């Protein structure tokens, strides 16, 4: 990525989707640059996950455009977008439950290396894939559980594997959808620390849906506020949080301690 | 090749032992079992192991429910039958028939596979059922070529028949003739096909198939174009079934709706996969063995029991050989109750499940 600082890696233009009469995402335009971490906030049902679905391709837009590295990818299927650098960790955990933790990660790594069509090598003998999987296991702290079925993991461990599978894609754009939801109090900071490290060390474009304001303050360069599918505000964390509309629409609905 | 096969063998000792007994029995079948009936059972078993394993590739590994598997079995068998009957029983003709059969199966499988892109699993299953029925109707309509309901009997290359004698003397009490060659042809091809599938399943491609079964939404989201993989699995599975059909046609010297196309065979395949254990090719060996033996000998065993209890009114009636199907049903229910994951599933699971 030469010249990464100014041209946006990811951009949405008047992105819209309707479900019947309900407009879940309403003409959202935003651009995301390399090396930036953007927090996306908004009350339940604001359209955050739906916005992600439009970007990673699980839903087709009713109108509007998604650009990845200035190419229009609005009509691309999900798998193609993934291969071109859109990584997504889901709000509702999406694992391969009856495969081991190692196999879950191995599948992602071999997908990235384009090995999935190999029919005549043994998966267990792919040293490069194994080495990568080992380091990923270490990163998400699941080395001990490598041979367990994904479905046998605790909720928190499943959340970590969910994030690990996205990291395994080594994507240019990382979309985290409430990654710490349901994690225990000592698991969540570890994961946030990891996201922080990724942001500082690498030239990623990170989108993070997160409810906890203290987290957003420390991590985010920028905040997008969604409300009823509309983009209500977009800017630096401190200034966005001062806006009256935001305080009413979003912060006002939260408990006092989080606003403080 | 063999080193890598060892990697894929199941861990369980009991299972390895059981598999070894079955494989060795099949290898030595002509020498350790008496009579042509036993040899016939052994040959059918070899063929069904391939057929069931190829179905498991689809159902157990990829998670695709299809009822069209006998269609591909039938394409293989009828190609050979028609070629031998209408052209000549030679190996050149056989080769052409096999190539044509694989081509036809591939086209049909790709078409059906692409349908899976558009419809939900339940509709897909129904479509395959419909396609299979159409094939049955077609076979009976085109009786000029297929022999209709009666099927067709034909000659096969002479070297594969009892009329062809390699040695005048018996070896270990066994005639060394074309029939024996035929059996070993079936055994060898079946073994190679089975090992091929074992190899495929352990490959990166095989892993992707499991990913589709487990969660195709996520498989797509990490970059696998799932339709492509599902179609490829359908084609491989179909081609394996086709080759099994070719073997069946050669062995039986008869091909008809009852031998390769009927719904009963589809049901047998399903039972064998479920009893052996879905998602384990070695399960195909166990499941096929149990059911083929039951089909062939339960009848007889019950005859023995019937005679033993001939004076006990209810028991005698219960063991009436006519009721063997009932007992097969009972056997099946018991199996599913005690081994919900199939026999292999039961012996293999547990390892990765703690915590
Ligand atoms: N496939 C769909 N069909 C119909 N309506 C949908 C669909 N997906 C989302 N919606 C609706 O769109 C709106 C936005 O939902 P979305 O899941 O994007 O909210 P969110 O901001 O992610 O909320 P949360 O914080 O609860 O995760 C909701 O009203 C939801 O009911
Ligand atoms: Mg959401």
Q: Give the model confidence (pLDDT) of B140-165 as tens digits.
A: 888 888 888 888 999 898 888 888 88
What are the tens digits of pLDDT across the range A186-205?
A: 888 888 988 998 888 888 99
Question: How many other CB atoms sit within 10 Å of the CB of residue B78?
Answer: 30
Question: How many other CB atoms sit within 10 Å of the CB of residue A75?
Answer: 11
What are the tens digits of pLDDT across the range B226-239?
A: 999 999 999 999 99
Instruction: Confirm or reject: Cβ of A58 under 6 Å from ligand 1.
Output: no
DSSP 8-state assignment for residue B294:
I
> Is residue A175 within 8 Å of A55, Cβ to Cβ?
yes
CA distance B89 to B82: 10
Structural element, H or E, at residue A188: helix A187-201
How far is the centre of ligand 2, averaged over its atoms, from the C-alpha of A48 (Å)?
A: 5
- B197, B210, B221, best to mutate vs chain A, most A CBs in 10 Å: B221
Q: What is the ipTM of this complex?
A: 0.90
DSSP 8-state assignment for residue A145:
G
Task: Let me know how many helices (H) and strands (E) chain B has, helices first.
Answer: 17, 2
What sign has the CA pseudo-torsion B231, B232, B234, B239? Answer: positive
Q: Is B2-354 CATH 1.25.40?
A: no
- List the single residue in B with minimal CA-CA distance to A154: B355
What are the tens digits of pLDDT across the range B110-127?
A: 998 887 767 777 888 888
Domains identified in chain A and CATH numbers: 1-85+173-260 (3.40.50.300), 88-170 (3.40.50.300)
Q: Is the pLDDT of residue B25 over 50?
A: yes
> Is residue A88 within 8 Å of A166, Cβ to Cβ?
yes
**Low-confidence residues of chain A, pLDDT below 70?**
1-6, 248-260
Instruction: Taking residues B30-50, report their average pLDDT.
Output: 91
- Calculate ∠ Cα A244-A245-A250, nearest 5°: 105
pLDDT of residue A255: 42
CA distance B277 to A48: 42
Average pLDDT, chain B: 87
Set of chain B residues whose Cβ sits within 8 Å of the Cβ of A56: 221
Are the Cβ atoms of B225 and A117 closer than 8 angstroms? no
Instruction: Taking residues B289-309, report their average pLDDT.
Output: 81
Residues 6+ apart with CB under 8 A from B156: B84, B89, B182, B250, B253
Instruction: Confirm or reject: Cβ of A35 under 6 Å from ligand 1.
Output: no
- Closest residue by Cα to residue A163 from A114, A204, A105: A105
Q: What's this model's pTM, rounded to 2 decimal places?
A: 0.89
- B200, B201, B222, B236, best to mutate vs chain A, most A CBs in 10 Å: B222
What sign has the CA pseudo-torsion B242, B243, B244, B247? Answer: positive
How far is the centre of ligand 1, averaged over its atoms, from the C-alpha of A24 (Å)?
A: 7
Burial profile A190-228: b = 16 or more Cβ within 10 angstroms, e = fewer = ebbebbbeebeeeebbbbbbbbbbebbeebbebbbbbbb
What are the tens digits of pLDDT across the range A79-94?
A: 999 999 999 999 999 9
Domains in chain B: boundaries = 2-354
Set of chain B residues whose Cβ sits within 8 Å of the Cβ of A90: 218, 221
pLDDT of residue B321: 72
């Amino acid at each position: 990525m030469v010249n990464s600082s100014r041209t946006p890696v990811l951009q949405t233009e008047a992105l819209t989707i309707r479900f019947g009469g309900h407009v879940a995402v309403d003409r959202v335009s935003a651009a995301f640059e390399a090396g930036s971490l953007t927090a996306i906030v908004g009350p339940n049902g604001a359209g955050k996950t739906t916005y992600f679905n439009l970007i990673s391709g699980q839903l087709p837009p009713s109108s509007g455009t998604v650009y990845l590295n200035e190419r229009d990818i609005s009509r691309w299927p999900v798998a193609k977008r993934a291969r071109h650098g859109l990584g997504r960790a889901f709000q509702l955990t999406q694992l391969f439950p009856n495969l081991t933790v190692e196999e879950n990660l191995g599948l992602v790594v071999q997908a990235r290396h384009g090995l999935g069509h190999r029919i005549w090598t043994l998966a267990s003998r792919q040293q490069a894939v194994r080495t990568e999987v080992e380091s990923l296991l270490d990163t998400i702290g699941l080395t001990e559980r490598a041979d367990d079925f994904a479905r046998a993991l605790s909720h928190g461990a499943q959340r970590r594997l969910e994030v690990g599978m996205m990291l395994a894609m080594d994507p240019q754009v990382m979309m985290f959808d409430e990654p710490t939801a349901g994690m225990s109090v000592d698991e969540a900071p570890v994961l946030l620390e990891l996201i922080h490290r990724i942001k500082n060390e690498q030239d990623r474009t990170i989108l993070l849906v997160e409810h906890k304001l203290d987290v957003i303050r420390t991590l985010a360069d920028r905040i997008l506020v969604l409300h009823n599918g509309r983009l209500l505000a977009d800017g630096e964390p401190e200034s966005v949080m001062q806006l009256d509309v935001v305080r009413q629409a979003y912060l006002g609905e939260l408990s006092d301690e989080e606003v403080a | 090749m063999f080193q890598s096969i060892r990697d894929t063998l199941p861990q369980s000792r009991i299972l390895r032992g059981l598999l070894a007994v079955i494989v060795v029995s099949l290898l030595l079948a002509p020498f350790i079992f008496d009579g042509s009936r036993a040899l016939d059972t052994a040959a059918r078993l070899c063929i069904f192991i391939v057929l069931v394993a190829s179905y498991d590739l689809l159902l157990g590994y990829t998670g695709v429910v299809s009822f069209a598997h006998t269609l591909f079995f039938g394409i293989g068998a009828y190609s050979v039958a028609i070629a031998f009957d209408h052209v000549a029983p030679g190996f050149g003709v056989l080769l052409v028939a096999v190539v044509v059969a694989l081509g036809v199966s591939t086209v049909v499988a790709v078409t059906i596979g692409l349908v899976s892109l558009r419809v939900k699993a339940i509709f897909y299953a129904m479509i395959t059922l419909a396609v299979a029925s159409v094939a049955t109707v077609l076979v009976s309509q085109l009786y000029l070529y297929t022999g209709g309901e009666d099927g067709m009997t034909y000659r096969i290359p002479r070297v594969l028949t009892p009329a062809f004698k390699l040695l005048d003397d018996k070896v270990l009490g066994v005639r060394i003739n074309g029939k024996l060659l035929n059996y070993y042809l079936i055994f060898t091809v079946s073994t190679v096909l089975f090992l091929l599938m074992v190899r495929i399943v352990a490959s990166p491609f095989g892993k992707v198939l499991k990913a589709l079964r487990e969660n195709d939404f996520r498989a797509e989201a990490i970059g696998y174009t799932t339709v492509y993989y599902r179609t490829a699995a359908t084609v491989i599975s179909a081609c394996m079934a086709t080759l099994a059909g070719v073997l069946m046609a050669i062995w039986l010297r008869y091909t008809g709706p009852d031998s390769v196309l009927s719904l009963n065979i589809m049901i047998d395949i399903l039972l064998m996969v479920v009893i052996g254990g879905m998602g384990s090719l070695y399960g195909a060996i166990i499941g096929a063995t149990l059911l083929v033996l039951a089909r062939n000998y339960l009848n007889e065993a019950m005859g023995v029991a019937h005679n033993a209890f001939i004076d006990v009114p209810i028991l005698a009636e219960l063991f009436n050989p006519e009721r063997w199907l009932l007992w097969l049903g009972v056997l099946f229910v018991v199996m599913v109750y005690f081994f919900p994951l199939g026999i292999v599933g039961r012996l293999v699971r547990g390892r990765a499940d703690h915590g």
